[in-house]
Each structure stands twice: as C-alpha cells, then as structure tokens.
Amino acid sequence: MAELRKQHKFSQNKLAQLTGISRSTIGEIENHKTPIQDEHAVKLAKAFGIAVEKIYKE
C-alpha cells in the first residue's frame, strides 16, 4: 500500500485525513503489522480511485 500512497503523492498524514483512518494504523498496514480491515479497504480504495480488490493485492 505504501507504493500506491507514494504514486498518488500522499503522505501518511494526508491519506489519514482523506480516509478517516489514523496515521498510525496506515503505518501498521504498510509495515504488515496489522491486516487491512474491510472498512479500511473501502476507504482506501475510494481515496486511491481503485477497486477494493486491488487494495488487498498491494
């Protein structure tokens, strides 16, 4: 997911603002310390403008 975030030129803080997901949770997802919850996947997909399925593949 970090690669997607960087492609969109979002900082973790900006992505947190766009999605309502905490910056620390975004960091944990990127570092594979916590799995992506379905609720978060939907919000992330919307922010990136991609299908939800692609969130799980990243």
Query: What is the residue range of 6's domain?
Result: 2-57
Instruction: Copy the structure tokens of residue 52.
Output: 């939800």
Domain CATH code at residue 48: 1.10.260.40
pLDDT band at 17 (very low <50, low <70, confident <90, very high): very high
Per DSSP, helices labelled H in the chain are 2-7, 12-19, 23-30, 38-48, 52-57
**What is the total count of domains within the chain?**
1
pLDDT digits (tens, 9 = 90+) for 20-37: 999 999 999 999 999 999
pLDDT band with cut points at 50, 70 and 90 for residue 58: confident
The pTM score is 0.91
